[in-house]
Each structure stands twice: as C-alpha cells, then as structure tokens.
Amino acid sequence: MYKAKKPNKAAVTHLLDLEFQSRRNLIDSNALKEQDRPTKILQAYPCFKELDHVMDELRRVIEPNNSQYTSEVKGRWENFCSKVQFYGVMKKVMKPPRTLNGFEHAIAVFTALPLLFPSGSGAPKKLVPIGEALFHVLTPSEDPDTYIHQRVLSSPVLLVGEQNCIVVVGKTPVVTFEKDLLHEGPLYLLAYYYAFHLTYPKCIATLLSVLQTQVLGDVIHEQDATSSYKKAIHEWKMFVE
C-alpha cells in the first residue's frame, strides 16, 4: 500500500498507526546504522516523502493521542517566532522589526536562531555561516545537486530556491514544498530528525533542543541537557517570562 501510485491517504495513516511500535523498535535499535536509516526507511515507507505523513509521525512519537498536535505545534512555532524577533534585537543579532515580506522575515529568523541559541561546539570549518547547518538559500546560478553533494553535514537541511523549497537528508532530496510554507521549514526538519531518529549536529544541538522543548513540547533527557542548552533556555525564559 505504501508504494502504490495513488495510495489512499486515510488507509496509509491507519496502517502507519498500526505498525508504529514495531517500526519505532526497528528504527531505534542498532539494526540500522544512523547513516543508513533515511534511505532504508524511505524505501520501506515512501509515504514519508509527504509532509503530512512525516508531521503525523512526529505526533505519534511525542503525543500519539492528541489529534490536534500538529496544529498546536504550528501555533507554538508562530508564537515562538514572534518573540524571537524581539529577543534577536535585544541580543543584537537582528534588526528592529520592520516591514518585511514573508520570505525575508523567515530568512531573518532562520539566520538569527543559531546565534540566539548557540552550542558549545562551533560549525565545521567548511560550514560558514553556522546557519548553513539549518538552511541554505540557493543563488540563481547555483545547482542544487552540486550543493547537496558538497555538503559537509549529513543532517536534514532546508534548501530555499527561487520557486520552492527542498528538505534534504544526507545526499537525498526528500520532499519539495511551496515557498509560501518556508516559515514552517524548521518544523519539517525536526519531523525528519524524529522520523529517522537522527542525532542533532553539535553545532546546532542547542537550538534544536530549545525547539524540541519550547515548540514541539517534548522533554529533553538529562544527558542531552548540556550547559549550553541550560544557559540558552535560562536566558530565553528570563526574556519571555
């Protein structure tokens, strides 16, 4: 059913619900090496190339009994971003809010996020600026395939083109979506981290951990609560509370 040309969406969702525990047991085990997981999972579940299905998998992992989870996450993300622009001004990494179109505002927020919630580990030397671990805006003359194959990291990244956006995991373009949804891009990246059980890159681990707790509403394990995360979340809460 997963591999049918036009699978019934409701039927696929129901089957994903039924197979969830066995699927997670396999994904979370050592049977699949982390670098092989995305390819193997997409081969078995090509439905995860659709945003609705991967966001629903995120719900299954975090709040399986909450049918409104995805809409709640999007609401928290919108609220988080509205506060980030003022936090960014205070931290002097963003300019005062002004009239920006949706694209410009999203890029400004994405650029500021790793600076507002920094990790103790710097980005790899070839990865400058650090925001490249999160997203990359393609120039008109830049070939997406060339960029993908020259990437330093294998973690999920958002490619922003002139017409649309692409979520890339490793060397694989997984899903393309309309530029109008660019502002939700980090949520899609997080969904793939969860669906494939991937480790956060050290250079943006603090940022992703903050989004995990403040936007996704998921707990963070004590061993993952680094000093950088504790400092960042303390400063954030002092600002918003």
- For the residues 164-182, what does the mean pLDDT come to? 96
How far is it, in rounded angstroms, from Cα 192 to Cα 189?
Answer: 5
pLDDT, tens digit, 9 for 90 and up, residues 183-230: 999 999 999 999 999 999 999 999 999 999 999 999 998 888 999 999
Angle CA 224–225–228, to nearest 5: 115
pLDDT, tens digit, 9 for 90 and up, residues 79-117: 999 999 999 999 999 988 776 678 888 999 999 999 999
Q: Is the dihedral of CA 182, 126, 193, 40 positive or negative?
A: positive
Token pair 């061993």 is at which residue? Answer: 223
- Among candidates 212, 211, 206, 213, which has minimal Cα distance to 228? 206
The structural domains of the chain, with segments of one domain joined by +, span 9-240
The pLDDT confidence band at residue 1, using thresholds 50, 70 and 90, is low
The answer to pTM > 0.85 is: yes
- Among candidates 173, 149, 54, 161, which has minimal Cα distance to 107? 161
For 8, other C-beta atoms within 10 Å of its C-beta total: 11
How far is it, in rounded angstroms, from Cα 200 to Cα 225?
Answer: 13
How far is it, in rounded angstroms, from Cα 66 to Cα 74?
Answer: 14
High-pLDDT (> 70) share of the chain, %: 93
How far is it, in rounded angstroms, from Cα 6 to Cα 9?
Answer: 9
How far is it, in rounded angstroms, from Cα 120 to Cα 204?
Answer: 9
Q: What is the pLDDT of residue 129?
A: 82
Token pair 């982390």 is at which residue? Answer: 34
Tokens at residue 159, please? 């490619």
Number of residues assigned to the chain: 241
Average pLDDT, the chain: 92
